[in-house]
Protein backbone atom coordinates (compact mmCIF):
# COMPACT_ATOMS: atom_id res chain seq x y z
CA UNK A 1 0.00 0.00 0.00
CA UNK A 2 1.21 3.49 -0.72
CA UNK A 3 -0.37 6.86 -0.19
CA UNK A 4 -2.78 8.08 2.44
CA UNK A 5 -3.41 11.36 4.07
CA UNK A 6 -5.71 14.28 3.51
CA UNK A 7 -8.88 14.53 1.43
CA UNK A 8 -7.99 14.22 -2.25
CA UNK A 9 -4.93 12.02 -1.74
CA UNK A 10 -4.80 8.64 -3.50
CA UNK A 11 -4.17 5.31 -1.79
CA UNK A 12 -2.77 2.52 -3.99
CA UNK A 13 -3.32 -1.05 -2.81
CA UNK A 14 -1.12 -3.65 -4.53
CA UNK A 15 -1.42 -7.42 -4.24
CA UNK A 16 1.02 -9.35 -6.45
CA UNK A 17 1.56 -6.24 -8.57
CA UNK A 18 -2.07 -5.22 -9.11
CA UNK A 19 -4.81 -3.72 -7.06
CA UNK A 20 -7.31 -0.93 -6.57
CA UNK A 21 -6.79 2.80 -6.12
CA UNK A 22 -8.94 4.96 -3.85
CA UNK A 23 -9.09 8.69 -3.30
CA UNK A 24 -9.77 9.95 0.21
CA UNK A 25 -13.13 11.73 -0.07
CA UNK A 26 -13.88 12.42 3.60
CA UNK A 27 -11.77 12.53 6.73
CA UNK A 28 -13.12 13.41 10.15
CA UNK A 29 -10.45 12.64 12.78
CA UNK A 30 -11.47 9.92 15.24
CA UNK A 31 -14.87 9.62 13.56
CA UNK A 32 -14.97 8.79 9.82
CA UNK A 33 -12.84 7.94 6.81
CA UNK A 34 -14.38 7.60 3.36
CA UNK A 35 -12.68 6.46 0.16
CA UNK A 36 -13.96 6.53 -3.42
CA UNK A 37 -12.65 4.01 -5.92
CA UNK A 38 -10.59 6.00 -8.39
CA UNK A 39 -8.88 3.31 -10.45
CA UNK A 40 -9.85 1.10 -13.34
CA UNK A 41 -9.64 -2.24 -11.58
CA UNK A 42 -11.32 -4.27 -10.51
CA UNK A 43 -13.99 -3.13 -12.95
CA UNK A 44 -16.83 -4.11 -10.59
CA UNK A 45 -15.48 -1.61 -8.03
CA UNK A 46 -15.68 1.44 -10.30
CA UNK A 47 -17.87 4.00 -8.54
CA UNK A 48 -17.92 2.16 -5.22
CA UNK A 49 -17.13 3.80 -1.90
CA UNK A 50 -15.63 2.48 1.30
CA UNK A 51 -16.27 4.04 4.67
CA UNK A 52 -15.03 3.43 8.19
CA UNK A 53 -17.26 4.99 10.86
CA UNK A 54 -15.70 4.97 14.32
CA UNK A 55 -17.56 5.15 17.61
CA UNK A 56 -15.87 5.09 21.01
CA UNK A 57 -17.69 3.65 24.01
CA UNK A 58 -15.65 3.44 27.17
CA UNK A 59 -12.41 1.70 26.34
CA UNK A 60 -13.69 0.16 23.11
CA UNK A 61 -13.74 1.56 19.59
CA UNK A 62 -16.39 0.18 17.26
CA UNK A 63 -15.74 0.24 13.52
CA UNK A 64 -18.66 0.22 11.12
CA UNK A 65 -17.29 -0.72 7.71
CA UNK A 66 -19.26 -0.26 4.49
CA UNK A 67 -18.39 -0.98 0.86
CA UNK A 68 -21.27 0.61 -1.05
CA UNK A 69 -22.54 1.71 -4.47
CA UNK A 70 -22.06 -1.60 -6.23
CA UNK A 71 -23.70 -1.61 -9.68
CA UNK A 72 -24.95 -5.17 -9.22
CA UNK A 73 -25.05 -8.01 -6.74
CA UNK A 74 -22.63 -10.73 -7.83
CA UNK A 75 -20.49 -13.61 -6.62
CA UNK A 76 -17.51 -11.22 -6.77
CA UNK A 77 -19.29 -8.78 -4.45
CA UNK A 78 -19.89 -11.63 -1.97
CA UNK A 79 -16.24 -12.67 -2.24
CA UNK A 80 -15.10 -9.09 -1.57
CA UNK A 81 -17.39 -8.80 1.44
CA UNK A 82 -15.86 -11.93 2.92
CA UNK A 83 -12.30 -10.75 2.17
CA UNK A 84 -13.01 -7.42 3.89
CA UNK A 85 -13.92 -9.42 7.02
CA UNK A 86 -10.59 -11.24 6.76
CA UNK A 87 -8.69 -7.94 6.51
CA UNK A 88 -10.63 -6.31 9.35
CA UNK A 89 -10.02 -9.29 11.64
CA UNK A 90 -6.32 -9.09 10.75
CA UNK A 91 -6.35 -5.41 11.68
CA UNK A 92 -8.02 -6.28 15.00
CA UNK A 93 -5.30 -8.86 15.72
CA UNK A 94 -2.59 -6.36 14.79
CA UNK A 95 -4.01 -3.80 17.22
CA UNK A 96 -4.72 -6.20 20.07
CA UNK A 97 -1.86 -8.70 19.72
CA UNK A 98 0.69 -6.73 17.69
CA UNK A 99 0.52 -9.28 14.87
CA UNK A 100 -2.11 -9.55 12.15
CA UNK A 101 -2.30 -11.67 9.02
CA UNK A 102 -1.77 -9.28 6.10
CA UNK A 103 -1.52 -10.37 2.47
CA UNK A 104 -0.07 -12.81 1.42
CA UNK A 105 -0.49 -14.53 4.81
CA UNK A 106 -4.22 -13.81 5.05
CA UNK A 107 -6.97 -16.43 4.87
CA UNK A 108 -7.39 -17.35 1.21
CA UNK A 109 -10.92 -17.53 -0.16
CA UNK A 110 -11.63 -18.88 -3.64
CA UNK A 111 -14.44 -16.99 -5.39
CA UNK A 112 -14.67 -19.10 -8.54
Question: Splitting the chain (112 residues) into consecutive groups of 10 residues, what average pLDDT does each group show?
Answer: 76 79 93 91 90 94 94 91 90 89 74 56
Its pTM stands at 0.81
> 3-class SS at 60?
strand
| 65 C-beta neighbours (distance < 10 Å), count | 14
Confidence at residue 3, expressed as pLDDT on a 0 to 100 scale = 60
Confidence at residue 18, expressed as pLDDT on a 0 to 100 scale = 76
Say yes or no: 31 and 80 in one domain. Answer: no
Say yes or no: 49 and 10 in one domain. Answer: yes
Containing structural domain, residue 77? 72-112
Say yes or no: 59 and 83 in one domain. Answer: no
Say yes or no: 83 and 59 in one domain. Answer: no
* Distance between CA atoms of residues 112 and 109, nearest Å: 9
Say yes or no: 59 and 9 in one domain. Answer: yes
The secondary element (H helix, E strand) that includes residue 89 is helix 75-97
Confidence at residue 40, expressed as pLDDT on a 0 to 100 scale = 82
Say yes or no: 82 and 103 in one domain. Answer: yes
Number of domains in the chain: 2
**C-alpha distances out from residue 10 to 21, 59, 80, 81, 90, Å:** 7, 32, 21, 22, 23
Say yes or no: 8 and 59 in one domain. Answer: yes
Amino acid sequence: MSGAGEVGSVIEFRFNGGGPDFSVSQLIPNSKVKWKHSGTMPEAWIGTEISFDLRVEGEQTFVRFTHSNWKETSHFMAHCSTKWVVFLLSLKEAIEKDQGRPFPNDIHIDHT
